[in-house]
Structures are given as C-alpha cells and as structure tokens.
Amino acid sequence: MKLEVRAYARPFKTPLQTYHGDWSVRRGLILRMDTESGIGWGEVAPIAAFGTERYEAALEFCQSLPQQITLAELQQIPATHPACRFGLEAAWELAQSSQAAPYPSGRLRLETGGTQSEQLEVSLLKVGGSLASTLLPTGSAALDSPLLFGNRLVTARPHTFKWKIGAAPIQQELDIFHELISLLPMGAKLRLDANGGLTWQEACTWLQLCDGYGIEFLEQPLPPEQFSLMLKLRQRYSTPIALDESVTGLAQLKDCLAQGWRGIFVIKAPLMGSPVTLREFCQAEALDLVWSSVFETTVARQYIEEFLIAALPVANRAVGFGVDQWFADGWERLSPEQIWERLA
C-alpha cells in the first residue's frame, strides 16, 4: 500500500464560538492510499480540546510513516493518535473494498433543480433519507440566521437545529433562547450544546427551562469529570441529556456504559480511533446515538455515512452533519478526488 498525505486549512466564514473559545480555521489532513485492490481516501481531523492529538502532531506522525505500509502497522498506531488511526484505517478499508460501500449508501446527494443555495439547504436537511440537524450561529447571531427566515425548504418539513450555549453570561443566553424559540419553524426541534461549560446551578436552570419547551436534549451540560452529577441531572429532569466530551474515545464510551449511563451518546467518529472497532461495538450494543460532525470534509463524511451509519439500524435522531454553511469554499460539492487536486 502506498500512502500520500496532503494538509488542508479551511477558514470558517465567521469564527465558531463555544465554551472552549473561538475557532477560526479547521485544519486537517487528506490521505490517499493506493493498493492492488483500489484507491482509498481517508481524513485526519483532530480536535485537541476533545482529547485527540494536536494537528501538528498528526501531521508529523503521518508524514513520518513509510510510503509502503501494512495493515498490521496501521493497527499499531498508538492511542495518543486516535484521529490518525481513524483516517488511516478508513482509507485502508475503502481501498480494500474497491471503493464499493459494503452497506446501502447513505451518502449526501444534492437534489436537482432550484438555486444553488436551495440545493445546499437540501443537503443540510437529509443524510441517507434521515434528517440532519443544522448548527446555528452562537449567541444572538442565531436570531438572524437565513435558515430561520424565508427558507421554504426548511420550513416545509420538520427540521432539527442545534444552538451552542455556555459561551456568554447565562442571563444573556436565556433572553436569546426565548426569542429563538419563537422564531423556529413549525414542528422544528431544538438541541442545546453546552460543551461542558455550565455550573451545576446553570445546568439546573437550563434543564428546568427545557422541560417547559420540549427541547430534544441538552448536550454535555457539565465537564466530563462531573459524570456523577450528570447522572443526577438525568434523573431530576425530563429533558434528555447527551454525552459528548465525555465520550470522545471508545474507552470513555465503554466506561460511561459501565457506570450506568443509559442516555444519549453523541459520537464524533473521526475522534474515536479505529472505525472498525467502533462499528463492531455499536453493532453489538443497543445505544441511543447521535452522529455528530467535527467539521470534517466529505472525505470522512462519506465514509461515516456509508461504512458506519449504514451498518447500524436506522436511528430516530437527526445526524449532526448540518455544518457546511460554516464554510465558503464549496468543498461540500466536491468529490474526494477533487479535494485532493485542490490541495496539490
């Protein structure tokens, strides 16, 4: 197997604001593997704040690999480099499958007709027949989002939106929340994501409010080290709680299950290490999963849809892949080959 690596840097239209701070540029790696069976594409998309290797470490590691590498060597990638393990193993599996998905395709496809913006909006709505949730801007900018106004495609069918909290004083966000609720299209669902940035009292305030509005779930209200408190919150309020930062790796996922978590798990596949092991575990367990984006390109997205999501029973929850509107480069319409050529 011959391995080639190319780095990318995708500026956000506007920085993404979260409890962890502002994020201005999404950096990652695109991998190309040539084998006797075919060509495989992989993506390394680390997020150090979620416990993966840093981008610089991922780049150094992949560039240090020999051009000729075996599967046994890929399986020895250290646990300190989960994003590298995901990208390299995914590329290997794609190459060995001769680019043919082993499961019914779940790939995003743009519908024909309509304006370019309308076609993009359709791609944000659907993943393999399932609705995809759309990430709104943080703070008051969400109130002016075009996805809430004058959008016949979004308002014409039930949709799911996600809004990040914990990035500003709580009273300010509560005021915005009440206005946001009044602007949601008919039948829309709303998810709140705190990125582990709330205090116990703030989490209680939000959950009490959520119980009155039928919010789909509150994602990671407290930091991972306060797992026992999140168990208590789950028992105290009716609004479901989803774990995200608490389950950035398969070992953490197994640990939360062992400690009694039976709620929602938000899975960011490119951060989880071996995709094959992740798939086998999810096939063996009946988990309430939400597949979530790490602002990866279509290289990783297509693999996740066709080799992970499509290998499991159809979920009732919208996948969290509605993030393409955060970039202006148009990569969501490019094939892996086209992205690779852009980076030449």
Q: Could you give the CA distance from residue 86 to residue 142 in angstroms, rounded to a whole number?
A: 33
Q: 193: annotated binding-site residue?
A: yes
Q: 244: annotated binding-site residue?
A: yes
Q: Which of 126, 162, 164, 189 is catalytic?
A: 164
Of the candidates 21, 28, 4, which has an alpha carbon nearest to the alpha carbon of residue 296?
A: 28
Region label for 139, one of left (φ > 0), alpha (ψ between -120 and 50) or beta (otherwise): left
3-state SS class at 13: strand
Residue 105 structure tokens: 């395709």
Whether 2 is catalytic? no
3-state SS class at 339: helix
Residue 256 structure tokens: 């939360």
Whether 268 is catalytic? yes
Q: Which of 126, 162, 189, 268 is catalytic?
A: 268
Q: Are 207 and 233 spatial neighbours (Cβ–Cβ below 8 Å)?
A: yes
Provide the terminal-to-terminal Cα distance of the chain, rounded to the nearest Å: 20
311-314: Cβ within 8 A, 24+ apart: 311/102, 311/103, 311/279, 311/283, 312/279, 312/282, 312/283, 314/130
User: Known binding site: residues?
Assistant: 193, 219, 244
User: Known binding site for Mg(2+): residues?
Assistant: 193, 219, 244
Residues with catalytic roles: 164, 268
